[in-house]
Chains A and B, each alone.
Chain A
Amino acid sequence: MALTGRAGLLGLLGVLVVAVIPRHLLTLAVVDGALAVGIVVDLTRAGRVRDLVIQRGGSQSTRLGEPTTVTLDVVNTGRRRVRGRLRDAWPPSAGSRPDRHALELPPGARRRLETVLVPTRRGDRRPSAVTVRSIGPLGLAARQGRHQAAWSVRVLPPFTSRRFLPERLARLRLLDGLVTANVRGQGTEFDSLREYVVGDDVRSIDWRATARRQDVVVRTWRPERDRRIVLVLDTGRTSAARVGDIPRLDSALDAALLLAALAARAGDRVDLLAVDRVQRASVEGASRTEVLPRLVQAMAPLESVLVESDARRLVVEVLRRARRRCLVVLFTSLDRAAVEEGLLPVLPSLTSRHLVVLAAVSDPRLAELARGRGDAAAVYDASAAEQARAETRWVTAELRRRGVEVVTAPPTEFAPAVADAYLELKAAGRL
C-alpha cells in the first residue's frame, strides 16, 4: 500500500479543524477516524495490481549511444479500474526515458507504454521490476505491487571507426586490381595471363605462354585471398585502464571491428577470441557476410576483468583453432610487467607458426607529461613519463626482435592504424 499527498494534506488541514472546533479531542478522533475510513475504502476499492498482465516488446538491440524503444503492453484483467502510475525500472546505464508513466485502465482495457532507451554502456541491459501504484477512488491511498517481466536489450559496440572504412576499402580495391592494372609486387598469388601492354613490368612476361601464342603474354598477380585472421582481445586487467576516457578494451573492439570489416571485404576469414584467464568470447568460421554481426554480438557483453591475463592460455587457444599459418592480431597493452612476465616467454610458439601483430593503444597523456617543464613537479612528471616511454620502447624492441609487428597509436587513430598495418601486410604479400 501507499499513501498519497492528498492524505497528508487532509491530515494537515485537520490541524485547523481540531484547533477551531471546541471539544478538540473528540474532533481529532472524528477527523482521523474519517481519514482512516477513507484510506481503508481506497485500499479496498483500488484496482488490483495483481490483475494486470504486462508484456514486454520492442527493440532487443541497439548500438551504444543510439536511442531505441521498448514497449510495455499492460492489460487490466481485473474488475476494477486501475488508475495510477507505473514505473518501468531499468538500470541507470540503460538511460530509460521516461521511467514513470501515468496509467488509466478500465477493466479489460489494454495500453501500450513506450520507453526510449539511450544506453550509456555496452553489454546486456535487463529491466528490473515493473511497479504499479493503483490509486483508490478517493485519491487518499493506493495499492502498490510489482511485476517481473523479463527482457533484454543488447547494447552493441558503437563501431565509431566505420567512417574510416570507405577510404580503406578504396585502398583495398587498389590492391585487388579492380581499379588499376595488376602489377607484380602487389600480392604473390597467380591470377591469370593477359596480353602485354606497354608499361607492364618485363619481369612478369611469361615466356612459355608467349612461345605458345604469337603474342607477348604477362602473368598477373593478385593479393592472397582466403587467409585467416584471428583477432585476439585481451580482457585482463590492462584492458580496463582508460586512455583518454575510453577503456583500452573499447578502443580494441573498435579497431577489431574495422579490421574485420576490411578483412571480410578482402576475402579473408576472421575469427575472434577474447580471453583473460578464461575464454570470454569466441567466433569461429563465420561466413564473410555474417562475420560482422556475429563479432558485434560476441563483443557486446565483453567486460574487463581485474585479473592478470594468462598468456599461455591465450597462445594455446590460438594454436588450437589455427592449424594453417594465419595472421594473429593481439589487442593488448605494452605494459612492461605484463608483457615481460606473460607474453614474451610463450611468444616463440606463436611466432614460429603464425604472423603476429600486437596492437596497443598508446597514451597521449604520456607525451603531454613528458613535455612538462618549468617547475620541479612538472619535471618529475616528465621524468616518470620518460621512464614509462623507455619501458615501452624496450618492450617494443623485444617484440620486434622476436618477429612481432607492433602497432601503437593514440585512441583516436588506433583503429585506422591497425587497418593500415593489415593493408600493408597484405600489399607486401606477407599474409
Chain B
Amino acid sequence: MSAPAAGLDAQQRAVDTLTPKSTPKSTPKSTPRSTLPASPGSTSRSTSPTVADLWRAARGPLAAAAALLIVATLVALVNSRRTAGALDPTATDPSGARALAQLLRDRGVVVDRIETVEGGTANAGADVTIFVPLPDRLPPAAYGSLATSPGDLVVVNPDIGVLSVLAPAARPDGSAPEGARQPACALPVAVTAGVADVGGSTYQPKPGVTGAVGCYAAGGAGSLLAMPRSTGGTVTVLGSPTALTNASLDRLGNAALALGLLGAKARVLWLVPPAGAAVAAGSHDRTVTELLPAWVRPALLQLLIGVGLIALWRARRLGPVVAESLPVVVRAAEAVEGRARLYRVAGARDRAAEALRSGARSRLIDSLGLPPDASPAAVTEAVTGRVRRPSAAVDDLLYGPPPHDDAALVRLADALDALDEEVRRQ
C-alpha cells in the first residue's frame, strides 16, 4: 500500500508554505493516508533538547554543585588555621607541637620555624637551640652544616646515620617501652622535670667519652642522652617525641622537660623539613622521566588528546539503540526431553518400560483390531494367534516385570519393535 499521490501533493504544499524560521509544529498535518486503520500523524517533531531545555535540566544540579562548593570553601577556610604535622610548631593536632611553641614564646623565647638548614642556621649565632624533631626527613647534605653550626642541638629519635654526624660520641643501644619514668640521673633539666613520658630508642655514650649524661634509663641505656658538642653547647638526643606533643604536654613533668630542653637559649630554630625533602634533594640519580627528550612529554599529551578525540568520535552513536521486546522461544518438545532426562538420571526403568510397553500395546491393539480396553489376556491371545511365539514369552514381553538395568531396557525396546513388526507382517 503506497501513499496516495494526493497526500504527497498536500505535503508539497505544506513545504511551500513553510517560511525559513517556522518551527516544525507549524507544518499542517498532511498525512498520506491509506484505507488502513492506525495511520499515525507523520510530521516530525524535534525531540533534541534546546539550549533552554539543557539549562532547565542542568540548573538544579548546577545549583547543588555550587552550594556544595561554597560550603566546602567555608569549611576549608575555617579549618585552614589547623594544620597537621608531627611536632610542627604550628600544628594543632595531637601529634603536633603548637602548645610547646606557645609555651616557649610565653617565656620570651623566640621560636623560628625553618624548613631548610641553609635558611636559618647560617647566621644564627651561638645563643640558639636548634631543634630537629624529624631528622630522617632532612637531606643528608644538611647534617654536615648542622653538625658545624654553633648553639645547642636537640634531636628526636635519630638513627645511627644521623647520630654519627650530629652526636658522634653517642651510639644507639636498643629500645625501651614508652611510659612514665624516673629521671634517675644528675642532668638538671631532667631532675627539675621529674617523672616524664620518655622511652623509645635508647642511646649510650661511646666508651671513653666524658661529660655524657644518660637519663630515664629503663635498665642500662637511657632514652635521653646529653653530651657536650665540639662546637660548644650541648647535643641532646631524645628517644621518643611523646613528651613534646600537644597530646601529652600537660601530663607529668613533660612540659617542664620540654621547656628545659628547648628553652635554655634565647631563640629556638625549629627545623621542620617538608615531607619528601630528603628524597628530592638527596638522590642525585636522574630518574627515567628526566632522561627522556624534551619533546616526549608534550607529544604524549598530544597523543592523549588525539586518542581522546577519536574516542569521542567513535563513542557518539547516531541515535539511541532501539529496544524491542522479543517473543518467547520455547520448543514444544522441551518438556518431553526434560522428562526423558529425569527418567534417565533417576534410573526410572519401571516407568520408562511401562511407557514403551503401553505404546507398543496400543499399536498392537490397533493393528489387531481389538477394542481399546482389551484385557491383557485377550491381547496376548490375539498376538500369539498371529505370531509363532509361546504365549508366556509374549505375556512377559508386554506385561512383564520392569528391566533390571539400562541394557535390558534397550533390549526390551528392540524386542517390542520386533514383535510389532512381526504382527504387522503376518
Residues of A within 8 A of B (CB): 2-5, 7-15, 17-20, 24-25, 27-28, 31-32, 35, 49-61, 69, 71, 73, 75, 77-79, 85, 87, 89-93, 100, 107-108, 110, 121, 124, 126, 128-131, 133, 144-152, 154, 240-243, 247-248, 297, 303-304, 306, 333, 363, 365-366, 369-370, 373-377, 379-390, 393, 397
Contact = CB atoms under 8 A, between A and B. Distances in A.
Q: Which of B47, B296, B319, B327 has the most CB of A within 10 A?
A: B319
Given A152-B40, A242-B332, A303-B327, A375 B46 contact: no
Given A241-B334, A369-B337, A393-B362, 20 more contacts: A8-B313, A9-B310, A11-B305, A11-B308, A12-B310, A18-B301, A28-B298, A50-B23, A53-B27, A77-B18, A145-B48, A154-B38, A297-B36, A333-B332, A365-B331, A366-B336, A381-B337, A386-B355, A386-B359, A387-B351
B404 interface: no
A49 B324 CA distance: 26
Main secondary structure of the interface of A (DSSP, over half): mixed
B413 A373 contact: yes
A232 B22 CA distance: 53
20 contacts: A3-B312, A11-B307, A11-B310, A13-B306, A18-B301, A27-B298, A31-B302, A53-B27, A57-B11, A60-B38, A87-B318, A121-B327, A147-B24, A149-B42, A150-B41, A333-B332, A369-B337, A376-B409, A383-B356, A386-B355
A199 to B, nearest CB: 36
B336 A384 contact: yes
A55 B11 contact: yes
A393 B307 CA distance: 69
A133 B355 contact: no
Contacts of A240: 327-328, 330
A131 B337 contact: no
Chain B contact-residue range equals 35 or more
Nearest to B7: A57
A77 B20 contact: yes
B275 interface: no
Contacts of B45: 147-149
Contacts of A381: 336-337, 340
Contacts of B294: 24
Contacts of B305: 11, 14, 32
Given A92-B322, A147-B47, A397-B372, A57 B42 contact: yes
B296 to A, nearest CB: 8
Contacts of B328: 240, 304, 306
A127 to B, nearest CB: 8
B330 to A, nearest CB: 5
Interface of B: 1-3, 7-8, 11-12, 14-15, 18-24, 27, 30, 32, 34, 36-48, 50, 294-299, 301-303, 305-310, 312-313, 316, 318-320, 322-324, 327-337, 339-341, 343-344, 351-353, 355-356, 358-359, 362, 372, 406-407, 409-410, 413-414, 417
A40 to B, nearest CB: 14
Nearest to B344: A380
Contacts of A150: 40-42
Contacts of B15: 53, 73, 75, 110
Contact of B46 (A49, A89, A107, A242): A49
Contacts of A12: 303, 306-307, 310
B313 A7 contact: yes
Contacts, number: 290
B90 to A, nearest CB: 36
A383 B38 contact: no
B1 A7 contact: no
Contacts of B319: 87, 89, 128-131, 146
A28 B301 contact: yes
A402 B351 CA distance: 30
A144 B318 contact: yes
Contacts of A333: 332
A128 B67 CA distance: 39
A315 B414 CA distance: 46
B340 A380 contact: yes
A341 to B, nearest CB: 16
Contacts of B302: 11, 14-15, 17-19, 28, 31-32
Q: Which 4 A-B pairs have the closest CB atoms?
A: A131-B319, A11-B306, A8-B310, A54-B44
Contact of A18 (B30, B298, B323, B343): B298
A91 B333 contact: no
A192 B64 CA distance: 92
Nearest to A123: B327
A37 to B, nearest CB: 14
A71 B331 contact: no
Contacts of B330: 240-242
Q: Which of A49, A243, A382, A397 has the most CB of B within 10 A?
A: A382
A154 to B, nearest CB: 7
Given A61-B36, A89-B322, A24 B336 contact: no
